[in-house]
Amino acid sequence: MLVVPPAFAEFQLSPEMSGLPMVGNASVIEDPSRELTLEDILEKDWAEFQQQEKNKTVKGMTSSAWWVMLDVDNQTSSTIDWVLESIYTHTDYLDLYHINGNGEVSTILTGDKRPFDQRAISSESFAFPFSSPAQSQEKIVIRYAYDEIGLVELSLRSWDKKTFQDHSSITYYLYGCLFGAGLFVILFILIIHIPTRLPEHYWYLGYVIFVLANSLANTGLGHRFIWHDSPYLTDSAHIMITALAFIFAVQFNRVFLQTKQAMPRADWLLKFLLGLAISSICFYLLGYRELSVKFLLLTGLLLAIMPIIGLWAWKVLKRTDARWYVLAWSVWTISMLVFIGRLSGILEVSDGTLWISRMGLLLETVLLGLALIDHVNVLRAEKRASEEKLIKSLEDANLLLEEKVQARTADLEQAHQEAVSMAETDELTGIGNRRFFFSRGENAFQLAKRLEQPLSLVMIDIDHFKKVNDSKGHAAGDTVLKRIAEISKQRLRSTDIHGRIGGEEFAFIMMGTGLKEATAFAERLRKDIEITAIDSPLGNINVTASLGISAMSSQDQQLAALLHRADEALYQAKSNGRNRVAFL
């Protein structure tokens, strides 16, 4: 018979108990060496124990053993049959010692690393039945420990026997709804995927599968029904499956939002999250369990920014199919906040907080499924619009061809004359003329837009050219125009498009060149013109030029938009004193 010290406070049993928290009445002590026995605990100085705070039951990742001591008092006049439940399902070793009023000790040894069929009650959580006589005082001492390191969670609840059975039935019903809905989502996405075969469906399907597998692992159902004979899976499944779920979630986000093409910075962040999840698996396999779990927690926290990225795609990039995506990841963020609140002690560990996280993940997968449906509808609408545009183009082409065939004989001579008049070379300067510039320029513009490459347009106007014509004569003016064309051609690359588009106006289209590089080129060209003495029959002529620049933006649909901005920039350069470069 043992003589035992009292706990800080007694827990009063009652005939009706519905998951009453017990740990607030408990005394706790940490055992870093994991070598203390029941006798050692009972002989310890009472000052070494701490009263357990109600919401501070999570002790973090630790290799220490933890002891919990409870005084249980039945002050009623009848025996109370009740159940003590330890909520957390992943403890390796949970040793319970029941000390009755006579000091007699009975022991129940359970935990994930012990056979499931030896549990006192067949339940995913650790549940222990008791029958406390009337007017009795008993003590319960519980030891939590891991082989190496693990998350220690000390939450305890008390139930009367019938209420516990009813609660278990309701819980299994909710499990059925959870997994049934998950399987329905998988079947539904398979049906959608068969005709579309979009890559984002693969990643989404894998994510949903691992979310369901994660629910099996974290609820303890996997250990109970599937891998109870595998200590390795029991120990690792909830960590490895969570990491795999994160990997598929990150890849789904990258493909669905097309971050590599549309949001490069966000894509780098997602690649970083992908690296964290993969590193978590590697660290776990190498034996660094604590580091692995910390990497997983960091990945989960950073995934909470996905609503912001989705909102950017929706509002800025005009991705209407991102609406459901934003809502889905907002649900994820709320679930993560609840999870962190449980770990930090802000929120009480209860069925409510547990099921918010579980159902939150399910709701997120459903909303992501709706986002995919919306995505498919958008793609179909775009395809239908393209097909209609193609059909209209073909009809117009056929109509035009018919008209040309009917008028072929009558228009042959006229067509010949038009072809001669539409020659693409400027006779005076030997460079492209206006038609050449706009024809080639529009093609270059559309190509750059399709390939998402930069493109800039530079316009040149010779300052006070009318004075040259008036004072030196038109022959001298022609000489100036030819020399300016030569200077420009020497500076330009073979891939650039060069043309005379007006009397003293020239324009260049620079492929693969952004605004900064185009401005630097224009400044060099301006200086070349300024320092060049142009030889003419009436002596050397010095002229200057004003240049206007514009660069292609995502809003530009035709070359005319660039030309308009470059013309405005040219006007600005003229207004600011000439012989300068301006850009818009």
Per-residue pLDDT of the chain (584 residues; tens, 9 = 90+): 444 555 556 889 999 999 888 877 788 899 999 999 988 888 877 677 888 777 778 888 888 999 999 889 999 999 999 999 998 888 989 999 999 888 889 999 998 888 888 888 888 889 999 999 999 999 999 999 998 888 888 889 999 999 999 988 988 888 888 888 888 888 877 777 667 778 888 898 888 889 888 888 888 888 778 877 787 888 788 889 999 999 999 999 999 999 999 899 999 999 999 999 999 999 989 988 888 888 988 998 898 889 999 999 888 888 888 889 999 999 888 888 887 777 666 777 777 777 888 888 888 888 888 888 888 888 788 788 888 888 888 888 888 887 787 777 666 666 665 664 467 888 888 899 998 899 899 999 999 999 989 999 999 999 999 998 888 888 888 899 999 999 999 889 888 999 999 889 999 999 999 999 999 999 999 999 999 988 887 788 899 999 999 999 989 999 999 999 999 999 999 999 999 999 98
pTM for the full predicted model: 0.61
Catalytic residues: 504
In which residue are the tokens 């009337």 written?
134
Give start and end residues of each alpha helix (H) in 303-350.
306-315, 323-344
State the Cα–Cα distance between residues 78 and 429, nearest whole angstrom: 114
* Long-range contact set of residues 295-303: C-beta below 8 Å, sequence gap at least 24: 296/239, 296/242, 296/243, 296/246, 299/243, 299/246, 299/273, 300/246, 300/336, 300/339, 301/336, 301/340, 302/269, 302/272, 302/273, 302/276, 303/246, 303/249, 303/250, 303/273, 303/329, 303/332, 303/336
Of 279, 253, 248, nearest to 268 by C-alpha is: 253
Q: Residue 323 corresponds to which tokens in the numbers above?
A: 């609406």
In which residue are the tokens 């278990």 written?
168
Domain 11-165 coded CATH 2.60.40.2380: yes
In which residue are the tokens 């539904």 written?
188
Give start and end residues of each alpha helix (H) in 220-263.
221-225, 231-257, 259-262
Rounded alpha-carbon distances, angstroms, from residue 336 to 87, 250, 300, 354, 364: 19, 16, 7, 11, 12
Considering the four listed CATH numbers 3.30.360.10, 3.30.70.270, 3.40.50.300, 1.10.3720.10, the one that applies to the domain covering 434-583 is: 3.30.70.270
